[in-house]
Structures are given as structure tokens and as C-alpha cells.
Amino acid sequence: MRLLEYKGKELLNKYGVKIPRGAIVKSLEDIQTLKAMKFPLFAKSQVPFAGRAKMGLVRRVDTINDAENAARDYLGKVIQDYPIRKVLFEEGVNVAKELYISITLDRENRGYLMLASTEGGIDIEEVARKSPEKIIRLYIDDYEGLRDYMIRGVAQKLGLEGSAVQDFVTVTKAMYRVFTEYDAELVEINPLALTTDGQLMALDVKVMIDDNSLYRHSDISIEDSDYTTEELEARKYGLHYVELTGYVGIMANGAGLTMATMDLVKEFGHEPADFLDVGGGASEDSVKEGLKILLTDDRIKAVLVNIFGGITRCDEVAKGVVGALNEVKTNKPIFIRLKGTNEEEGRKILTEVGLKTYETAEEAMEALSKAITR
Amino acid sequence: MRLLEYKGKELLNKYGVKIPRGAIVKSLEDIQTLKAMKFPLFAKSQVPFAGRAKMGLVRRVDTINDAENAARDYLGKVIQDYPIRKVLFEEGVNVAKELYISITLDRENRGYLMLASTEGGIDIEEVARKSPEKIIRLYIDDYEGLRDYMIRGVAQKLGLEGSAVQDFVTVTKAMYRVFTEYDAELVEINPLALTTDGQLMALDVKVMIDDNSLYRHSDISIEDSDYTTEELEARKYGLHYVELTGYVGIMANGAGLTMATMDLVKEFGHEPADFLDVGGGASEDSVKEGLKILLTDDRIKAVLVNIFGGITRCDEVAKGVVGALNEVKTNKPIFIRLKGTNEEEGRKILTEVGLKTYETAEEAMEALSKAITR
Amino acid sequence: MGMAILVNENTKVLVQGITGREGSRHAQYMLQYGTKVVAGVTPGRGGQTVQGIPVFDTVEDALRKIPDINTSIIFVPAQFAADSVYEAIDAGIKLVVIITEHIPIHDALRFVNYSKRKGVTIIGPNCPGVVSPLRSKVGILPNHIYTRSGPVGIVSRSGTLTYEISYHLTQAGIGQSTVVGIGGDPIIGTDTLEVVKMFEEDPETRYIVVIGEIGGTMEERLAKYIGSGKITKPVVAYISGRTAPPGKRMGHAGAIVSMGMGSYESKVKAFQEVNVPVARTPTEIVKLIKQYIR
Amino acid sequence: MGMAILVNENTKVLVQGITGREGSRHAQYMLQYGTKVVAGVTPGRGGQTVQGIPVFDTVEDALRKIPDINTSIIFVPAQFAADSVYEAIDAGIKLVVIITEHIPIHDALRFVNYSKRKGVTIIGPNCPGVVSPLRSKVGILPNHIYTRSGPVGIVSRSGTLTYEISYHLTQAGIGQSTVVGIGGDPIIGTDTLEVVKMFEEDPETRYIVVIGEIGGTMEERLAKYIGSGKITKPVVAYISGRTAPPGKRMGHAGAIVSMGMGSYESKVKAFQEVNVPVARTPTEIVKLIKQYIR
């Protein structure tokens, strides 16, 4: 999960990375705490995605009144399903140069990768596309770790000199500590500013933490992550839910099968509205709760359920489907492919409530396709 | 260096080891803080060596008045050159069983070694001598670290059961963290008590920290170590000084040569009063300060100086000797063996103040031997 | 007679976490399938039995009593799974199948690198395991699907999708040599290429099915290796996730396209360049294999 | 012609920490001795020269320019020394001599284990270095002592004591093949036994002098090895610290007797059991060696 900017900064700062002086505002009462700060400030909505500035979610404020107005505008606003709960107010920094620096997992080599670039402040994916030669790559072995001399090599390539070299060592070692101690998948500072008075300072950061490690990080709250309310709800039932942009609701068991089902929808010329994996060992409850998410989603015109019963038992799935239909009034058509363990029992349960089942996903999709173009 | 008990407990407790409820008293004013505690308490003088109880430096106190008396008795007392600056007052614990557990360096295998025994509460060197089969040994690789399953294996051999097994994992992992994060050479809990209500608790601990790592442990003060005032003074000048029990003062350059000089003194039937190594690259100043320690030591009857000039220059040594004699009035005889780099110049300097030099350490020692038996 | 890869008649299985719900259930299923499940481990439960299988406190204890254990399957909860893997490796077990999901990636990275240094093969984590039909199953793949041995080796990042494809192959009369679910996490013990190399060496396997998905570069690296001419057996592939948007994680922690890497297009292109046909739907795999067999 | 061990005419030395007081001074002494000191490293000082030796920012830079560097000597302050060792190892240098003292033991333990995995020989830390008289010196041993090559190989835990013994040997007309100061810390890169094995393989060395001290079990392990018959050359020894009390550290961090291990008696007993004569005083070493040569 992606942490909010301020939380990522907090972690990096704890290990020695300099950040602009700032304060978090959660409600209008907090505005008074800004009095001690040096205006103008920058009000930055704490939302977990890129392009905030373009969306008008960052602005300069010159007075306490300005700040209060900004807080009033931002707090509570819902952007991309994500409610703004916090605004970070930061003092300005005089920037001489902007760098990019990150540490990420290297899946292929089963280690870590440091990426650095003199092209800071812009989307690194764009730099990677347009001028890949501007990205410095350093492989880090999980055992050997990140040695100072390696960092000095990177600093040299970035053109850093004098005390900035040692500061860069401090910054990257702090990043490495956050990366390994907090089970991060990505620790990125972009831009890392070289200020006009020669300091290195993290102006924006992106930290992604491995969800599975949260049990050992009591200081990280899922509240400070990019999970939307729906996604958090889905997680409770062991569901993997991702919202997409189409109109065909999809539920399947297993990530591979669910993606294959999305692809099938597209193959028939339609657009999937979601990825919903009820898991390899789906239970009645998870199927019920999963289907309810789809049935209550206004964007969805029809639902395709694709179950291949291995560990999952078809009768459990059928009971879950019936359960959801009992709880949610809907007239969306549902097309169910049911195959595998306890297939007969499952089909019987569904037939009783008037639902037809199909032998293959293709057959179910064909029927769905006819229904919504009709 | 060895940390005081309370400081070692503090470190272990930080990582999850349970310790008896206690408070540190540095002066009589601190006694009032004990009011919140449950009497009887145990007053434990914070001295960095074994056998406190036998020396009468630990006692039970039943009231605040008792406690104050204990503090008055202990604080400021000097034992084995070590002034008592702190007294630890601890609540009592009901002990069902006492275990021994430690982590230490394994020089031979370049790793770490965990030692455990059901024979807790007594000197482990004694256990090692008398019943070595009662010591459980676990080798720990510095990279692989200490795994839970290994600890469970040790717990099994110690006869621990139920929740005590998981508690034992917690204790040993905390010890391992202190050992690696604080550059320890030894982390020992003895006894580790299994209390009558089934808890594991560290009753006494011994933590030895690598002096050379102190620069990276800002929370460890040399005040909380076993250095005596003399030793701390010697450290300032880059000298290695160890007090021994004899009467022949020894100063040499290099640890090996200094030990060889001690051995030579013994070979001639005398007893060395100290080990004083002025270092492989001794300077005028370190020689002067080193010699001053010996000249002002009342136990010492005569001084043997054994210098082989390699990096060390004999003329620097000679100047240091003369400097010490100028500052300290003494009639102790000094026997100087001077050989190697700038030998001539050195001899000249010493001859000028009436000091003879010898070609070999044996010759110098022979002369010394005659002088003090005369 | 065929040989299959990874597991066969000589596989003697230890179940770590055998007293848990999943562990005990699948120990039973494996026994029913014919797998030689000879021991289980749960700390503090030594001396008990589960489905008639003796339970030990430690792997060391189990091996002392039953020295011919050569394979371990891990059902231990995620928080304790890494420790169980180290215990198995250090005890000398040479094949460790990790079913447990939700193991932190950093843990997996460390124990996978450790296993490589120690010459131990890890399958998973977060995988359905391995089955060599009619001989042995070390995993949670449904017994009733795997009823026919034969010439097709399958390596897959997906569980259910594999069952589905196996099912259709078997329905079409085509048996499998070994089916390997390598797991859906970003860091896994054995990757697609490594399994394909094993199939290349296996006399029983004559055709290879690769079930991939978006994310990572495993499929691209396999394609490159095939391009070097070192794989002589026909390979066919299916890749799921064509319609997944970049930057989003699709159920599997490993199924994410980032920094322009691991996209559907890149994988399909890589396969097509080395003449590996890529099925548009899972069932099309069966048709592609049939063309080779004919 | 003799070969000596570790350093010889082909030794091309990099000095890490060359711009420091000790680094520059001993670079000069080494040059004066005839050692091929070809480069230095100090971060941020690339482009300068010290005693005419070019200085680089990184070891990688130095090796790029002067690829035949095969040995590094480290004078970097203790806090940064470990990093320099890794830099040298990772750059591919196969012999690293660490003069720096006061390096934390845990740092040394890690880099020594790392060097072993990478096939790199470390001498030290906290050591005087290595000299093969009249050919090359990589260390801080005084030049004027090492004026005669010959049949005696010396391995020692002590600096000054070694100079003294070398001096007396040379005075007596007995030259040395190589003199190795292995350092006085508890964890060192190369121990007595490893050096003795090198001497055994070296055609030039005909007699071996071991200068040990209390603490650790290096001498005992050497004696055991000698007992197994694998060392055919005569070995004589001196051990300092006979009168040191247990539990006290004698100057060298490694010179401490604890848990009954590493005492003077135990070392002498071990040597005597395998017929290695132990000198009572340093100068007696010369007499013992003379008996063999006669």
C-alpha cells in the first residue's frame, strides 16, 4: 500500500532525511498550530496518487486566513473515491537543483535496486521512456546491503560535490533503512532538492509498504494508505477487489482466472468494471459479500461469475450467490459459469432460485454479451 | 567495557526482556522515588565486577529508612579502585527456577555463540569446569542470525514448556538485538528466573560493549562502565594500562612486547605491578604520561622500560622519560632498555640526565633485579 | 517408465504446520491422493498424530526419527512461515513447497536467496504446489482433476487457471507429467524458466505449457532462453491480464505492471518472436497442444 | 629464486587513506623500501598526488586507470575502515592489508566472513602488515630491520615483538622469507594456521617462527594441525602473556583469557605435545632456529 506523503516523510526524517518544516491539519481547529510557521506556506492535500498539483489539490497560502480557506476546501473532499482527511502545510524551500532517488525491489535478481537521476521533479516513468540513459541504476544485494562507497559512486555520477556527497550518503542510507526495516516495496524521494544553501531536502516522497508486513509495524496505520473505503471493506472478507472503468461486473476465484475472465470480457468487445477475486478457497460468505459489492455498483450493467471449483466448492459459491440476491434488490442480469468440485449441488441450488449456469466461461460471456447489447 | 547492571537491564528491557521493578538512586535525595515501590527491596551497589553479595554490597531493605541507610553506606564507597556512584533498588521476585543464558563472540568460527544452562545463578566458568555437559551451545552465523526454531531447540533442552518457550524466544531475540546492535562482546543473563507465576525475568545481567564502537552508541556513557579513574586517564593518551598485583613497574611499546616484559620480570623471580603499553607508535607525550602513572604508584619499587624502536623513535621516548622525571619527584630506580630507530639520539638524551640504557631487556632486568634485592 | 520432475514415487513428505486447519485437511487429501506423507511438525505438539501421521516438535526431531524425508510442505501462518522455511533448509531437506500466502516479500527474498546458497529448491510461496499425476502430489491442487499422467508439463503462476487447463487437457485425453504452480508473489523460489529447464531434461515431458500473467519479466527471460535454442520441446503459453491497467495490483502481489515492465504486450511479443504460440483464452491451450500431438 | 608468500616483486599496491597522516607517511616508507606503490584513494581527493603517487576518489577509478593493482593497504580511520574494505573486495582486489586499529569487532567479523566468501585474503585489522625482505613491504614494519631475505618465515600476533625477533635473527645472519603480522584483534582475516600453511607451501621458507600470545585458540589449532603431520618444516614458537591474569585484556583486544580458554599453559602444552619448542624469552627464538640450521 502507498503511504500518504506526510507519513513517508515522517519515517525518512526519523532516520535523518531533512524535510521542509511542516504541520499536519486534520480539522479547522488545527489551523492555529500554523501560527508558529513562516509564511507563505504550501497547502498539500494528502491524497495517495500522482498529479495532485494538476488537480488543484496543492496551493500556496500567504496568511492564516488563506490557510484556513485551503483546509476548508480540501478536507472532506473525495477524489477518486479517496476522502481527503489531512492537509500538510509546509514552508517553502529555495531550490537550486532537483534530483530523483528511489529504492525498489529487483524481482528478477531477487535483490534491491537504487535508481537515481538528475532529472528530478518529473515522473520517473517518463524519464525511463524518453531518456533512459539519464537513470543511474545500482543493484543492492540483500545480504551485503548498501555500502557507503557505492553511494559515493552514485553521488559522483549525479555531479554532487563537497558536503553534499556525505549528505547524500545520509539520505540514501536512511532510505535503505526505511526500505528494509519497514518492509517497503518502494521508497522514492522526488524531488530531492539541493537547496540554494547547499542542503539536501526531501520535497515529495512516495513510500509503498508491503501489506503483508503490517503486523510488525505498529506505527503504520492503514488509515494513512491509499486504500479506498470499498477496498478496505473487501479486504475484511479476504477479497481482492480493484475498481476498473467498464460496465461488466466480474467475480471469479483465483487471480489468474479473474484476470482471464476480464480478458474474456474484452475479447467479446466489452469493458470490465472490476477485478474481484474471491480467492482460491472462496467461502459462502466471501462470495456473498463480493457479489453484493458488484450488485450495488451503479456502473455495472451485468455480472459475470466464473468459478472453477478446485479447493472452492461450487455449492458454497451457489449459496453465497443466493445469499447476496436475498440481501440486495437488483435487476442486473447475472451469468454464472460453475464447474468443478460439487458442481451438481451448486447447480441445483442456483436452479431453485431461477439462475442458469454455464459449462464454460465463453458460453456464459456469450449469453451476457447478447443480454446487454439487446 | 563492562556496563553496570542497571544499564544492561535497561537495554534488554527496551527490546522486551522483563526485569524486576526497580529504581536507580544516585544521591540521598533520590530515595523519595522509592516510596512508590513495594517493600522489601533489594539495594544493589552498581559495581562492574562479580561477587558483590559476598563483599556486602547487596542487601535487603524493608523500609524507606533502611533504604536511605543502604544508600548512605554504599554511595561514594571505593571498591577495587571503583567508586560506587549508583545503587539499584529492586522489588523481590518469587523464583521457581534459575537459568543461565548468554551470547558471546565465537572467535574461532568468526560468529556468535549462545550458551545456556539449567545451572543458573552461579558462575558459568565454574559450571564449564565442573560439569561442561550442563552447558548447551548454539553456534550462530553472523549472516543467518538467530532463528526462532533454533531457540525453540534450546528451550526444549532447558526443559521449558508452554508459554515459557515463546517467552524464551522473546528474551533471546532481545539479547541478540542488544548483542548485534550495540556491538556487544557479551550479553549474559544470570540468573534468568522462571518465576512462580510462570514468567521469565532477568535478575542480573552482564553486558560487555566493544569500546571501539562507542562512537555509534550515543546512549552508552563510559561513566556506566568498569573503567577506573586511572584507566580512563591512561586512555586519553592512547595508553593501555592494566593494574596488576606486583611491585615492578613496567612500560613497553606494543602489547606483545609489554607482555613479554611482564613475563621476563616473572622469569627473574619478581612480580609485575602493571601492564603499560605506550603503543607501537608511542610519542613523547604518551611516554611521559605513562611513566608518571608508574612513578606516582606507591606499590612500585622499581621501573623497567623496554622499548624497541620500530615506528616508535627512541629519541621521542627518551624525551618523554626526561619529561616525566622533571614533573615527578621520585627516587625509584628506572632501568631502560632502548633499541632501534634513533637509538643513539635517545641514549644521548638519557645519559645527559644520568640515566644508563641497556642493549637487551634481559640486561636491564638483571640490573633491576640486583637493585631491588640489594 | 516416466520420471516427472520435482515429485514422484520416492517423495517422502513432511507437513510443517500439520495441526492447523489447512495443514491437517491437505495432509489428508495428499494421503488420499497416494502421496507418502510420513511426518508432521508443530512446535509443542510433538507426540500427537494427525490422520495417523506422527507429529514432532521440530524438523530435526522428525528427521532423526524418519531420516528419509526429502520434501517439506509448509502451511504455517505467514508470520511464522519464514522461520519454518529456514528450519527445513537447515535440517537438510532439499525441496520445500510453501503454500502459505501473505508472507512479507522481504522475508521471501531473504529465504529464497538463502535456499539458493544452500542448494535447496523452493516452490512458492503462495502457490498450489506440485503434482505428478498418479504418483505424488505435494500441494493443494484438487485430487479429482489430476487423474492422468502423460506428456504435458505445466508451469503456472496461477492456481485455479491451472486446474481449469489441466481439467480440459485430461478431458481431451491428454495427461500431464508434472504440474507446477510456482506462485503469484513478486519473489518466488523457482521461476518459470527454471521449471521449463527441468521439463527439458525430463524424458517423460514432451510438450510444455506455460501459464503466465502480467508483472515481472519471467516470461520475457524464458522467451530469450528459448530463443537461444536450448529448449527443444514445443512450448505453448497463455498470459492473463491483457486488460489490467498499469500500476494496479491484480490479486497476486506479483501481478503489477510498473516502469513499463511486465506488460501483456511485452510478454506476448517476446513469445511470438521465438515462435511460442500464445493462446487467447485458457481453453485454446488444449487446441494448441493437440496440434503438436497430431 | 625464492618466492616468499603474500607479497613479492609483482605486488602492486593501492593505499586507501593515502592523504591521511599515517597513509602518506607509510606510502613514502614503502616506496623507499622498494614496494611498488602505484595508486592511492581518498574520496574527494581524486586528481591530487601524494609522494608522486596518483590519488583517486574511488577504488573503481584507480583500477580503471591502473588495472594491475593486486593489493590494497588500508589506513582509513576506524569508523570508515569497514567501508573501504568492502570497496576493495568488491573491486576485485585479492589481498587487503588493514593497518587501522580500533575497528569495531562486529564490523571486522562481517567483513572477514565476506572476504572468505569472495576468496579475498585479509591481513589484519590492527596489524603491522607483511614484508618479504628486499622485495616488497605492504605494511608499517620498520624498513631498517628488514635487510636480509632468507629461510625463516615469521607469523606473529605482535608488532614490536616481531621487529625485535627479526632484528636478532638478521643480526645473527639469518634472513627471512616473509614476515606476517596478523594483528592483535579477536577477529582477524588470516590466522596463524593459515599463514603456517602458506609457509609450508612456499619453497623459500625452510623454518617457521610463530609468535603468539594469550587469548583465543589459534595456537592450539595450529598445534593440532601440526600433530596431524601436515606441516613438514620445523616450527618454533614464543608465547607472550604467561603472567597475565585471567579476564583482563592485555592491550590487544584479542589478548584475554576467558572461560578457561586461551591460557599460556594450554598453548605451551599444545605445542610441546607436537614437539614444537617454545622459547622462554623472545631472544631464545634465535637460539632455537640456529639449532635447526646447524
Residue D1, pLDDT score:
43
Chain C residues inside the 8 Å CB shell of A257: 158, 160-161, 164, 240, 282
Number of structural domains, chain A? 3
ipTM: 0.86
**Of the residues A159, A191, A223, which one is the last residue of a structural domain?**
A223
CA distance linking residue C126 with residue A271, whole number of Å:
29
Element (H, E) at D203: none
Ordered by start, the domain boundaries in chain C are 12-123, 148-293
> pLDDT over 90 for what percent of chain D?
91
Q: Is D129 on the interface with B (CB under 8 A)?
A: no
Residue from D214, D182, D199, D207 nearest D286 by CA: D207
Work out the minimum CA distance from A310 to partner chain C, whole angstroms: 5
DSSP string, A91-146: E---EEEEEEEEEEEETTTTEEEEEEES-TTS-HHHHHHH-GGGEEEEEE-TTT--
Q: Which residue in C60, C80, C114 is closest to B153 by CB distance? A: C60
- A366 and A245 within one domain: yes
A122 pLDDT band (50/70/90 cuts)?
A: confident
Q: Which CATH number fits domain C12-123: 3.30.70.2740, 2.40.440.10, 3.40.50.720, 3.30.300.130?
A: 3.40.50.720
Count of beta carbons in the 10 Å neighbourhood of residue C154: 24
- B337 and B233 within one domain: yes
| Residues B178 and B208 sit within 8 Å (Cβ to Cβ) | no
pLDDT score of A224 more than 90: no
A147–D80: do the CB atoms touch at under 8 Å? no
C84–B149: do the CB atoms touch at under 8 Å? yes
Q: Which chains touch A (3 or more CB pairs under 8 A)?
A: C, D
A136 pLDDT band (50/70/90 cuts)?
A: very high
Instruction: Compare all CA atoms of chain D with the CA of B279 and give the residue at the minimum distance.
Output: D251
Catalytic hit among B100, B112, B182, B227: B100
A256–C144: do the CB atoms touch at under 8 Å? no
User: How far out from the chain centre does Cα A19 lie?
Assistant: 23
pLDDT score of D257 more than 80: no
C-alpha cell at position C107: 522475508
- Phi, psi values for residue C146, rounded to 5°: -100, 80
| Residues A183 and A217 sit within 8 Å (Cβ to Cβ) | yes
| Rounded alpha-carbon distances, angstroms, from residue D18 to B207, D25, D50, D97 | 37, 9, 7, 14
C2 pLDDT band (50/70/90 cuts)?
A: low
Helix (H, G, I), strand (E, B) or coil at A32: helix
Q: Where would I find the beta strands (DSSP E) of A217-355?
A: 240-243, 248-252, 274-277, 302-309, 334-340
A374 pLDDT band (50/70/90 cuts)?
A: low
Helix (H, G, I), strand (E, B) or coil at D176: strand
| Rounded alpha-carbon distances, angstroms, from residue D106 to B141, B228, D93, D95 | 12, 25, 22, 21
A149–D83: do the CB atoms touch at under 8 Å? yes
Q: Is D29 on the interface with A (CB under 8 A)?
A: no
Decide if D12-123 and D148-293 have a common fold. yes
Chain D residues inside the 8 Å CB shell of B280: 128, 140, 159-160
| CA-CA-CA-CA torsion sign (D58, D123, D179, D252) | positive
A152–D60: do the CB atoms touch at under 8 Å? no
CA distance linking residue A310 with residue A317, whole number of Å:
12
- B199 and B267 within one domain: no
Chain C residues inside the 8 Å CB shell of B147: 83, 86-87, 90
C58–B165: do the CB atoms touch at under 8 Å? no
- A168 and A118 within one domain: yes
The residue among A200 and C2 whose pLDDT is bigger is A200
B148–C80: do the CB atoms touch at under 8 Å? yes
- A132 and A213 within one domain: yes
Q: How many CB pairs under 8 A join B and C?
A: 26
Superfamily in which the D148-293 domain is placed by CATH: Succinyl-CoA synthetase domains (3.40.50.261)
- B289 among known catalytic residues: no
Q: Is D187 on the interface with B (CB under 8 A)?
A: yes
Give per-residue pLDDT as tens, D133-154. 999 999 999 999 999 999 999 9
C-alpha cell at position B259: 607482555
| Residues C190 and C165 sit within 8 Å (Cβ to Cβ) | no
Neighbouring-strand partners of residue B23: B89
pLDDT score of C1 more than 50: no
D87–A144: do the CB atoms touch at under 8 Å? no
| Residues B19 and B52 sit within 8 Å (Cβ to Cβ) | no
Give per-residue pLDDT as tens, A286-336. 999 999 999 999 999 999 999 998 778 899 999 999 999 999 989 899 999
Q: Is D118 on the interface with B (CB under 8 A)?
A: no
Instruction: Compare all CA atoms of chain B with the CA of D238 and give the residue at the minimum distance.
Output: B260
Q: Is C200 on the interface with B (CB under 8 A)?
A: no
A310–C163: do the CB atoms touch at under 8 Å? yes
> pLDDT over 70 for what percent of chain C?
99
Count helices and strands in chain A by DSSP H and E runs? 11, 18
Catalytic hit among C26, C102, C106, C252: C252
Q: Which residue in B111, B245, B308 is closest to D164 by CB distance? A: B308
Work out the minimum CA distance from C87 to partner chain B, whole angstroms: 6
Residue from C71, C215, C173 nearest C129 by CA: C71
* CATH number of domain containing A237: 3.40.50.261
Residue B53, pLDDT score:
87
* CATH number of domain containing A43: 3.30.1490.20
Residue C119, pLDDT score:
96
Do the domain assignments include residue B15?
A: no
Residue from B49, B36, B40, B24 nearest B227 by CA: B49
Catalytic hit among A6, A74, A82, A100: A100
Do the domain assignments include residue A118?
A: yes
DSSP string, A207-253: EEE-GGGGGG-TT--GGGBS--HHHHHHHHTT-EEEE-SSSEEEEES
Helix (H, G, I), strand (E, B) or coil at D269: helix
Angle between helices A314-327 and A343-352 (to 10 degrees): 20
User: Could you give the strand order of the β-sheet that contains B357-358, starting from the edge strand earlier in sequence?
Assistant: B240-243, B274-277, B248-252, B302-309, B334-340, B357-358
| Average pLDDT value for residue range C250-260 | 76
Q: Is C228 on the interface with A (CB under 8 A)?
A: no
D57 pLDDT band (50/70/90 cuts)?
A: very high
Q: Which chains touch B (3 or more CB pairs under 8 A)?
A: C, D
Q: Domain range holding B57? A: 21-91
Do the domain assignments include residue A138?
A: yes
**Of the residues B91, B110, B134, which one is the last residue of a structural domain?**
B91
pLDDT score of D101 more than 50: yes
- B106 and B82 within one domain: no
Q: Is B142 on the interface with C (CB under 8 A)?
A: no
Do the domain assignments include residue B152?
A: yes
Residue A215, pLDDT score:
93
Q: Is A153 on the interface with D (CB under 8 A)?
A: yes
Instruction: Compare all CA atoms of chain D with the CA of A165 and give the residue at the minimum distance.
Output: D44
| Rounded alpha-carbon distances, angstroms, from residue D267 to B218, C220, D242 | 39, 61, 10
D245–B259: do the CB atoms touch at under 8 Å? no
| Average pLDDT value for residue range B235-250 | 90
Report the 3 state secondary structure along C47-80.
CCEECCEEEECCHHHHHHHCCCCCEEEECCCHHH
Chain B residues inside the 8 Å CB shell of C78: none
| Average pLDDT value for residue range D224-248 | 93
- B75 and B142 within one domain: no
Please state, rounded to an integer, the average pLDDT across all residues of chain B.
92
Q: Which of residues 68-107 of B touch D (CB under 8 A)?
A: 105, 107
Count helices and strands in chain C by DSSP H and E runs? 9, 14
Q: Is C292 on the interface with A (CB under 8 A)?
A: no
| Residues B275 and B244 sit within 8 Å (Cβ to Cβ) | yes
- B364 and B268 within one domain: yes
Residue C181, pLDDT score:
97
D2 pLDDT band (50/70/90 cuts)?
A: low
Count of beta carbons in the 10 Å neighbourhood of residue C216: 25
Instruction: Compare all CA atoms of chain A with the CA of D118 and give the residue at the minimum distance.
Output: A144
Work out the minimum CA distance from A68 to partner chain C, whole angstroms: 34
- A162 and A44 within one domain: no
Do the domain assignments include residue B13?
A: no
**Of the residues A91, A109, A137, which one is the last residue of a structural domain?**
A91
Q: Which residue in A212, A213, A254 is closest to C160 by CB distance? A: A254
Q: Is A138 on the interface with D (CB under 8 A)?
A: no
C-alpha cell at position C264: 501483456
| Residues A112 and A140 sit within 8 Å (Cβ to Cβ) | yes
Q: Is B145 on the interface with C (CB under 8 A)?
A: no
| Average pLDDT value for residue range D145-166 | 95
Q: Is D80 on the interface with A (CB under 8 A)?
A: yes
A118 burial type by CB count under 10 A (0-12 exposed, 13-18 middle, 19+ buried): middle
Do the domain assignments include residue B14?
A: no
Please state, rounded to an integer, the average pLDDT across all residues of chain D.
94
Q: Which residue in A240, A266, A361 is closest to C251 by CB distance? A: A240
Work out the minimum CA distance from C141 to partner chain A, whole angstroms: 7
- CB-side neighbour CA atoms (13 Å) of A220: 27
pLDDT score of C229 more than 90: yes
Q: How many CB pairs under 8 A join A and C?
A: 165
Residue B127, pLDDT score:
86
- B130 and B108 within one domain: yes
Q: What is the pTM of this model?
A: 0.88
| Average pLDDT value for residue range B345-354 | 95
Neighbouring-strand partners of residue A276: A241
| CA-CA-CA-CA torsion sign (A3, A7, A10, A11) | negative
List % helix, strand, coil for chain A (3-state, nearest 5): 40, 25, 35
Chain D residues inside the 8 Å CB shell of A165: 43-44
